[in-house]
Each structure stands twice: as structure tokens, then as C-alpha cells.
Amino acid sequence: GAGVSQSPRYKVTKRGQDVALRCDPISGHVSLYWYRQALGQGPEFLTYFNYEAQQDKSGLPNDRFSAERPEGSISTLTIQRTEQRDSAMYRCASSLGPSSSYNSPLHFGNGTRLTVT
Amino acid sequence: DQQVKQNSPSLSVQEGRISILNCDYTNSMFDYFLWYKKYPAEGPTFLISISSIKDKNEDGRFTVFLNKSAKHLSLHIVPSQPGDSAVYFCAASARGGNEKLTFGTGTRLTIIP
């Protein structure tokens, strides 16, 4: 497919379990971003990568959240010891150029809906 | 604190008329602004952007206006079409690019045929 692919589409997990959310960016895109979107809100920045390097993780809520992009392509967002407040839509986006480029808009995936019971 | 605010949760406009969506921001460091459009069950799609060195940017039926002194931007869609019915998010960046976008809460636009 030509777009950003995220899996799984839906994830239901019990409180205390770890989850791993996957993002497959558009081929050749340099930058990859993770956002979280609560119901009725706009996306909230979590972290982003240029190639395999994590440039900014200031949006990660706490140390239970981590992300990696080891080969500069696919990325995984991991949430350890999930809590009910982690329930949200997690969105990945990628952009062709580096994040500092005006002319390289973000392309968002359809998201992973995480529900922690 | 909400640094990007979209105070109208919803807006209904007759087909063919002008749609005006508004956005206010509080962070004076923001220098790049964007509008995204979102259909149900899909991710947001980039629509149009403007940097702080400009006060207007136009792309077809879509025009974004920026008033830096008022910390206000607006998106004009003219003429409005049924396919424009979607949620519109305003976003801003303080680093001159796409790094760390701050989004508003969105405005649901409904075009009435």
C-alpha cells in the first residue's frame, strides 16, 4: 500500500500488560512521528525520529512509554504495564523530508485504537 | 493549557457558500501553521499551511489567513462542497517545520446540500 500502515487496528488489553504498536511508514520517508489522540481532542505529540535517531521524546507521558526505529523504517511504540488512562487512538505519521522541512507534510496512518480494561 | 484553540466544535454551511473555520493560539513562538482534514475512521490529511512570514496562502478553494498580532488564523473554503464535510484541525509548530505539532481540538464542518 502507498500509505502509512499501522497494526493492529484495534488492541484490547488488560491493565498491567505490555503492548507493542507497529508503524510501517511510507517507503523512503525520512521522518516518523507518534501522536496520541483522545476522544474529542486533537492529536498530541509523543515522539519523532529522523532516520533511526530519536530526535525528541519530550511528549512521552512517562517512562512506561518507549519507541524505537532501529533500521530507519518500521517503528514500534511500546507501553509497559498499561493503565486505563493509556486508552486512546495512537497515530503514526511519516514525512518525506526531515522534520524541519516546510514542504514535507505529515502523512498519518489510520491509527491503533488501544483499550485498556 | 490549550495552546491552540478551536472554539467552535461544529459548523454547518450551505453548499456553494463560504466556510470559515477559526483558530487561536497563545504561544508567540509558533511560526508555522497548518490545517488538517479528517474523515471518519481515517487519519488526518494535510490540507494547507502558512509560515509566519506570510499573512495569506491560497490553494484552489482553500485559503489560510494569519493575523500574528491577534494570534489568529482562519481557513476559508469557497465554494463549499459536500465532500468538504469533515473534522478540521488547526496545528502549529515553534520550530519552523513539522517537528512537534500542537493541534487544536477540531471543528466538525457539515456542508448542507
One-letter amino acid for residue A28 of the chain: G
Our CA-based measurement puts residue B90 at a distance from the nearest CA of chain A, in whole angstroms, of 9
Q: What is the pLDDT of residue A86?
A: 98
* pLDDT averaged over every residue in chain A: 93
Contacts of B60 (CB under 8 A, 6+ apart): none
Let me know: does A23 contact A34? Beta carbons within 8 Å: yes
CA–CA gap between residue B4 and residue B27 (Å, rounded): 8
* Beta-ladder partners of B76: B20, B63
Q: What is the pLDDT of residue A105?
A: 87
What are the tens digits of pLDDT across the range B43-63? 999 999 999 999 999 999 999
In this structure, the number of other CB atoms found within 10 A of the CB of residue A18 comes to 11
In this structure, the number of other CB atoms found within 10 A of the CB of residue A84 comes to 9
Contacts of A60 (CB under 8 A, 6+ apart): A46, A47, A66, A67
What are the tens digits of pLDDT across the range A19-60? 999 999 999 999 999 999 999 899 999 999 999 999 999 999
CA–CA gap between residue B65 and residue B50 (Å, rounded): 8
Evaluate if residue A76 carries a pLDDT over 60: yes
Please, what's the b/e burial string for A38-71 (b: 16 or more CB within 10 A of its CB; e: otherwise)?
eeebbbbbbbbbbeeebbbeebbeeeebebebee
Evaluate if residue A8 carries a pLDDT over 60: yes
One-letter amino acid for residue A61 of the chain: P
Q: What is the pLDDT of residue B7?
A: 93
| Facing residue for B98 by CB, picked from A4, A99, A109 | A99
Q: What is the pLDDT of residue A103?
A: 67
C-alpha distances out from residue A36 to A31, B34, B68, B86, Å: 17, 18, 28, 20
CA–CA gap between residue B96 and residue A103 (Å, rounded): 11
> Which of B100, B102, B107 would best serve as a mutation to test chain A binding (most A beta carbons within 10 A)?
B100
Residues of chain A positioned with their CB less than 8 A from the CB of B95: 100
Which chain A residues touch B if contact means CB-CB below 8 Å? 4, 31, 33, 40-45, 48, 55-56, 58-59, 91, 93, 95, 98-102, 104-111
Binning pLDDT at 50, 70 and 90, where does residue B96 land?
low
Evaluate if residue B95 carries a pLDDT over 80: no
Identify which has the larger pLDDT, B2 or A15: A15
Binning pLDDT at 50, 70 and 90, where does residue A102 land?
low
